[in-house]
Amino acid sequence: MIKGIIKKGLYFDSVTLMIISKDLNKIKGISDSSVVMGTKENKAILKMADLYINIFDNSDDTDMLISINSESEKSYQNALNFIEEKLNSVRNSSDDTNDFKPKSFESALKLMPDANLSLISVAGKYAVREVEKALNSNLHVMLFSDNVSIQNELLLKTKASEKGLLLMGPDCGTAIINGIPLAFANMVNKGNIGIVAASGTGLQEVSSIISNLGEGISQAIGTGGRDVKKEIGGIMFIEALKALENDEQTKLITLISKPPHPDVLKKIAVEIKRIKKPIVAVFIGADEETVANSGAVPAHNLEQAAYISVALAKKEDYETAIAKLKSRKDKLLSIAEKYSKNKTGKYIRGLFSGGTLCDEAQLLLKGSLGYTYSNTPLNPDYQLKNIWKSQKHTIIDLGEDEFTSGRPHPMIDFSIRNKRIIDEANDSETAVILLDVVLGFGSNIAPDEELSPVIREAKLLSPNLSIICSVTGTDKDPQNRSKVITNLKNAGAIVMNTNVEAVELAENIINL
Amino acid sequence: MSINNIFNKNLKIINTGIESFKENAEQAGAVSIQVDWKPPVDIDDEVWEKINLKEKEINRANQNALNIILSGKPCLIGMDIAENIIPGMKKNLILHSGPPIEWERMSGPTKGAVIGALIYEGMAKTPEEAEKLAASDEIEYAPCHEHDTVGPMAGIVSASMPVFIVKNEEYGNLAFCTQNEGLGKVLRYGAYSNEVINRLKWMEQTMYPILKKAIENLGKIDLKNIIAQALHMGDEVHNRNRAGTSLFYRAIAPAIIKTSENRIEMAEVLDFINGNDHFFLNLSMPAAKATLDAAKNIPNSSIVLALARNGTDFGIRLAGTGNQWFTGKAPIPDALFFPGFTKDDANPDIGDSAITETAGLGGFAIAASPAIVQFVGGTAKDAVNYTLAMYEISFAENNIYQIPYLNFRGTPTGIDVRKVIANNLTPFIDTGVAHKKPGVGQVGAGVLSAPIEPFKKAIIGLSKELI
C-alpha cells in the first residue's frame, strides 16, 4: 500500500532527504519510499516512480512530501518514526569527521614547515624516494625500513653527510634524540653520555642499564648495522661521533657495534684518538686487540660498556666497576646451585627477540660451552638443520626474517616465541630456557601478560626447568620495568638484571 | 647544515609509515605529523627513471603551462549555431562527451541522446529509424574535446544546435558548449521523448535569438569573474551552479529587456534560466575548457588538460602529449539516488563536465560548497578534506578561484600526473548520474574518484615523448 503525508513548511535540502530515503528503504516491510520537497519537478518524479498520492495536489515548494510503499500499517508507522528521528538528528548532529591527514611528505612539510626529522618506516623499496625527499628538504632522517640496497644506502649516506644531515639507518630500530625515544627505544634519564650504535637492541640494553644505574643519555644515535661494513665505510658512525664531540651536553661517548670492517675500524680509530672526550667502545665479538687498537676504553659486552660509561660519567675509576661486576660470580654460583640440584635436562635453549642480545649470549657461552646451535650461529657449522627444532645448546634470534615473515617483530608479537617456550618445555633435554624481554616504545605494551601464563604452563610441564629472563628497559617505559619483573617472578621466572647476568646464570646452572 | 643543529631543539617529526611511532614520540614530548602514505602506483622503473631524469624540464614545462592556465581570461562573447562556428562541424557529424567511441560501445544515455539529436535534426522520424541511421556509416562521431567543445553528460552536439562562444581573451582561443536544458528528462541524460525534442526546439528558436542579442549588446560577460564570485557564494560550479546561474541572470536580464520586444518570450527565457540551477554549468565548462586549451602542446608538461568520460571509457589528455587520449573503464559513481532508483540503474560515469575539476573547480573546490557536502559523506569537514587532498596532486594553487573557509586559499589547480601516480591518489569528481537505459534521464548525483588506469597510461605516454 502507498500512503503518505505532507509536512507543511518544513524545509530540508534535497541531499539530506535523499539520504533519509535511502536508509528508509532498508526498514523491514518498506519496498519503496520518497521524502522530497513539493516542487513541480519532484512531483513529476514521484508520479514516474508510482509514489504519487492525491493529497500531494495541495502542496507546494515549501512543503515536505513523504510517500511510503509499505506492506503493513505497522511498517508505515515505523517508517514515519524513522523519518522523524532522522530529521531531528540531522539538525543536531555533531561533526566527528577526522582531521585532514596529508598524503605526502611534501604536503606534511607544508603543514609543518619547521619539521626537522623525517621518520620513515615504509617498505624498503619505497623508502629510498622518501629519504631523498627529506634530505632534499634538509631534514634529518631516521630510516627504520630494511630491504634498502647497500648501493642506495651509500648514495643516500654520502648525500646526507655532504649536507650535514643525520641519516640513521636503513634498518635503524632505535635512537634517542633530544630525549625523545624513536621507534624501538626506551625512556631513559637525560644525562651526559652520548651513544653511537650500529646495533638497535645493543643501544637499548646499554642506554637502559646506564639509566637504571642513575646516569643518563645526551643523544643516542643509531646508524643501522651495515654502516660499519666496508661498502659504507662507517660514514654515519663517524659523522655521529663527530657530532657528539661537538655537542656540549655530551661529556663522554659510548660506541656500540658488531666488529667493524678492519678498514672502517682504522678510520674510526683515527677519530677516537683525535677526540679529547673519553670514549668507551664495545665491538661485540671483536678480539681484545682490535678494540684496544681503536684507542677507546674497551668493554667486552654491553653490560660492561654501560658500567664503564657510568663510572667515567661519575669520574670514578672504571677498573673498580669492572671488578665489581666480576665479584658477583659467587652470588651467581649460589643461585645456580639452587636450580641446578634438581635439573632434569642438559641444555640451554635461548629464545631471543633482540639480535644483538642473541649474539652476545652466544659469545658469552662460547667460553665454557663452546659454539651453540642457532639460526644465526657464530660458526657456520652450527647452523640449525631445522630452525623450528633445537639441537643441544641452541640460541636463536626470533627477529630474523625466517621467523617474522608476514607477522610483526617478536618484541611485539609473542605468539611464535610462546609456542617455542612450550616446545622446549616438552623437550626433556631442556634444562634452561633463556629469554630477553625488551621494553620501551614500539615493543609489546604488556609482555608480562603475554609471558606469564606461558611460563606457568612450561613450569607445569617441566617443574625443574629454569626459565631465566633479563628485562631491558626502565621504570619510565610504558611497560614499567619493575612491574614487569615482579609479574615474571610471580609466574616462576628467574629475572636477572642484564642479558650478561642472565647468560652467566644459565651457564652456571648447566656447568654445575 | 650540521648534525649538531638538531640537538637541543624541539623535535618536529614527519612520520611516514608505522603510526605508533608518531604517538610514542608525542607521548615523550615531541611534535609529530603523520603522512597518510600509500604505496605509489606500480609503474615500470624504466618509466620512473625517464621521468625523474627530466624532472627539471617537466617542472619548467608545468610552470609554463600553469602560467598560461592561471592567466587565462574566459569570457562569453556570443552565440552561434554549431555548424557555423565549431571547427569541422557538419550535418552528419555528432559530437559526444569523453574520449572517442564507436556506436556499438556507446552507453545507453549516449545512444539515447544520439537518437534524440537525429530526431531533432529531422534526420529521423522515429527512435527506431534514428537508431538504424546512428549505426550506419552515414553518421560520424567525434569527441567534443576534439572540436574545441565540451558537453555535460552525453554531451551530444549536432549541427543545428545553438552554442555559447567562450573566448580566452588572453590567448584568443575559443571553446563552445550548448545551452543547459535543466533537470529531469533531458537529452544530455539520454532522453529523447517529444517533450525533450520540443524543449530543444524552443531553446533554438526562442531562447537562442534572445540570448544572442543580449550577449551582443553586452559585448562580453567575464566568466572568470562570475566563477570566482560563485565560489564565494557556495558553488563549486560543477554540481552546484545556483550562485553562478543567479549571477549570470543578473548580468543578462537587463540586456534581454533592452534587446528584445516580445515580453512573453522574454519572460519565458528569464523564467527558464531562473528555474534551472544548472544553467551556468554550460558556461563554467567552456570557461574551464578555454582556460586549459591555451596550454595545449607544451612539450614535457605532465599537466592534465582534460578529464572526460563517455559513459563507457574515462579518458584524459596531457599538455605534453598533444591530442593523445589515455583511457580506462569509467566507474559507476557513489551516488544518492532519486526516489525509485538504485545503483543498479546507474550508468558508468559520463560527461565532459570534469573539465571543471581539471581547471581547479568542481570536486577540487568542494570545500567552497558546504550546501552539497552531503554528497561527500555528510559533513563540511569531509568536503574540506577532499579539497585538501587535491592539493597533493596539483601543481599549483589558483590565483583567482578561492575557498573562503580555507582563508581564501586558491583552489588546487593543474593536475600533475606524476603526483597522481606517486601518491596513488586520483582526481575527485562530483557529478550527476544518468540512467543506464536510453530515454530515462538523471537518476541521482554523487561523487567518484577517477580510475587510475588512464593516469598510468598517461605517464608512460609522457615518458616516451620527453625531449
Cα-Cα end-to-end distance for chain B: 35
Domains along the sequence of chain A with CATH: 2-92 (3.30.70), 105-326 (3.40.50.261), 329-511 (3.40.50.261)
For chain A, report the end-to-end CA distance as a whole number of angstroms: 90
Contact between chains at B11 and A178 (C-beta distance less than 8 A): yes
Peptide bond into B451 cis (omega under 30): no
What are the angstrom distances between the C-alpha of A150 and each of A162, A502, B254, B439? 18, 35, 73, 63
- What share of residues in chain B are helix, strand, coil (percent, to 5)? 45, 20, 35
Which residues 6+ apart lie within 8 Å of A296 measured at CB? A255, A272, A279, A280, A281
Q: What is the model's pTM?
A: 0.81
Using an 8 Å CB-CB cutoff, list chain A residues near B28. 179-181, 187, 441
From chain B, the residues in CB contact with A134 under 8 A are 14
B37: nearest CA partner in chain A: A103
With vertex at residue B369, the alpha carbon angle to CA B366 and CA B371, rounded to the nearest 5 degrees, is 130
Q: What is the pLDDT of residues A207-223, one digit of tens each?
A: 999 999 999 999 999 99
Q: A17 near B339, Cβ under 8 Å?
A: no
- DSSP states of B353-394 as a string? TTHHHHTT-GGGGGGG-GGGGGGGTSSHHHHHHHHHHHHTTE
Select from A114, A122, A163 the Cβ nearest to the Cβ of B16.
Answer: A122
Cβ neighbors of B379 (< 8 A, separation 6 or more) are A95, A97, B373
Peptide bond into B404 cis (omega under 30): no
Coil, strand or helix at B65? helix
Fold annotation for B73-286: Enterococcus faecalis V583 fold (3.90.1710)
Closest partner residue to A116 (CB to CB) among B11, B341, B423 is B11
From chain B, pick out residues whose CB is under 8 angstroms from the CB of A56: none
Instruction: Give the relative orientation of helices A415-426 and A447-461 as an angle to the nearest 10 degrees.
Output: 10
Q: Count of H helices and E strands in chain A?
A: 19, 18
- Closest chain B C-alpha to A138 CA, distance in angstroms: 8
Question: Which of B14, B371, B381 is closest, CB to CB, to A112?
Answer: B14
pLDDT digits (tens), chain B, 467 positions = 899 999 989 999 999 998 889 999 999 999 999 999 888 888 998 999 999 999 999 999 999 999 999 999 999 999 999 999 999 999 999 999 999 999 999 999 999 999 999 999 999 999 999 999 999 999 999 999 999 999 999 999 999 999 999 999 999 999 999 999 998 789 999 999 999 999 999 999 999 999 999 999 999 999 999 999 999 999 999 999 999 999 999 999 999 999 999 999 999 999 999 999 999 999 999 999 999 999 999 999 999 999 999 999 999 999 999 999 999 999 998 888 888 888 899 999 999 999 999 999 999 999 999 888 776 666 788 889 999 999 999 999 999 999 999 999 999 999 999 999 999 999 999 888 999 998 777 888 888 999 999 999 999 999 999 99
Yes or no, beta carbons of B11 and A246 under 8 Å apart: no
Residue B378, pLDDT score: 66
Residue A178 and residue B384: Cβ atoms within 8 Å? no
The domain made up of B45-69+297-465 is a member of CATH 3.30.565.10: no
- The grid coordinates listed for A84 are 522523524
Please indicate whether, in this complex, the C-beta atoms of A119 and B14 are within 8 angstroms of each other.
yes
Inter-chain CB proximity A101 and B35 less than 8 Å: yes
Separation in Å, CA of A355 to nearest CA in chain B: 21
Query: CB A123 to CB B39 under 8 A?
Result: yes
Tell me how far apart the alpha carbons of residues B369 and B386 are, in angstroms, rounded to a whole number.
12
From residue B380, how far is each of A100, A361, B371 by CA, in Å? Answer: 12, 58, 9
Quote the pLDDT of residue A95.
54
Rounded to a whole number of angstroms, the distance from the CA of B268 to the nearest CA of chain A is 17
Tell me the angle at which helices A262-274 and A235-245 cross, rounded to the nearest 10 degrees. Answer: 10
Distance CA B351, CA B155 (A): 6
Is A243 within 8 Å of B28 when comparing Cβ atoms? no
A334 burial type by CB count under 10 A (0-12 exposed, 13-18 middle, 19+ buried): exposed
Residues shown for chain A:
512
B267–A contact, CB cutoff 8 A: no
Say what the ipTM of the complex is. 0.83
Residue from B10, B13, B42, B271 to probe the interface with A (highest A Cβ count within 10 Å): B13
Which among B1, B9, B389 is the nearest to A103, CB-wise?
A: B389
User: How would DSSP label each residue in A211-248?
Assistant: HHTT--EEEEEE--GGGGSTTTTTHHHHHHHHHHHT-T
Kindly list the residues from chain B whose CB atom is less than 8 angstroms away from the CB atom of residue A111: 33
Q: Among A209, A169, A182, which residue's Cα sits nearest to residue A193?
A: A209
- Look up cell 532519486; give the residue: B338
Average pLDDT, chain A: 92
Test the A interface: residue of B2, B16, B49 with most A CBs within 10 Å:
B16
| Per-residue confidence band for A505, with pLDDT thresholds at 50, 70 and 90 | very high
Residue A197 distance to chain B (closest CA, Å) = 16
Domain coordinates in residue numbering, chain B: 3-35, 45-69+297-465, 73-286
Size of interface A-B (CB pairs under 8 A): 210
> Hey, which residues does A348 pair with through a beta bridge?
A432
What are the phi and psi torsion angles at A298 (to 5°)? -85, 140
Determine how many CB atoms are found less than 10 A away from the CB of residue B10. 11
Using one digit for the tens of pLDDT, what is the confidence trace for A336-380?
999 998 888 999 999 999 999 999 999 999 999 999 999 999 999
pLDDT digits (tens, 9 = 90+) for A257-271: 999 999 999 999 999
Please give the pLDDT value at position B376.
63
Q: Is the pLDDT of residue A274 over 70?
A: yes
CA atoms within 13 A on the CB side of A76: 13
pLDDT reported for residue A92: 61
All 3 cell numbers of residue B405?
Answer: 573557509
Best probe of the B interface among A19, A30, A92, A104, by most B CBs < 10 A, is A104
Asked if residue A93 has pLDDT above 80, the reply is no
Give the type of residue at B311: G
Q: Which residues contact A406 (CB under 8 A, 6 or more apart)?
A: none
B42 touches chain A (CB under 8 A): no
> How far is B76 from chain A, CA to nearest CA, in Å?
29
Q: Grid coordinates in use for A463?
A: 617443574
Closest chain A residue by Cα to residue B184: A41
- Is B59 near chain A, with CB under 8 Å? no
| B458 at interface of A, judged by CB pairs closer than 8 A | no
Suggest the residue from B9, B37, B277 to mutate for an interface test with chain A (most A CBs closer than 10 A): B37
Alpha helices in B28-85 (DSSP H): 45-53, 55-71, 82-85
Cell numbers placing B162: 545553438
Q: Do B16 and A106 touch (CB under 8 A)?
A: no
pLDDT in tens, A303-319: 999 999 999 999 999 99
Alpha helix (H) residue ranges in A350-498: 355-369, 401-404, 415-426, 447-461, 481-491
Spatial neighbors of A274 by CB under 8 A, at least 6 apart, are: none
Cell 581573451 belongs to residue: B169
Sequence-ordered list of residues with C-beta below 8 angstroms from that of B145, at least 6 positions apart, any chain: B98, B289, B306, B308, B317, B352
CA distance A171 to B290: 52
B444 vs A: CB within 8 A: yes
The span from the CA of A243 to the CA of A164, in Å, is 10
Q: Provide the 10 A C-beta neighbour count for residue A447.
A: 24
Nearest chain B Cα distance for residue A13, angstroms: 8
Sheet hosting strand B428-434, strand order edge to edge: B334-337, B442-449, B428-434
Give B194: exposed, middle or buried? Use CB within 10 Å, 0-12, 13-18, 19+: exposed
Quick check: A212 and A473 in contact, CB under 8 A?
no
Amino acid at A74: K
**Cα separation of A134 and A131, whole Å?**
5
Does the distance separating the beta carbons of B16 and A105 come in below 8 Å? Answer: yes
Chain A residue numbers touching B27 (CB-CB < 8 A) = 441, 478
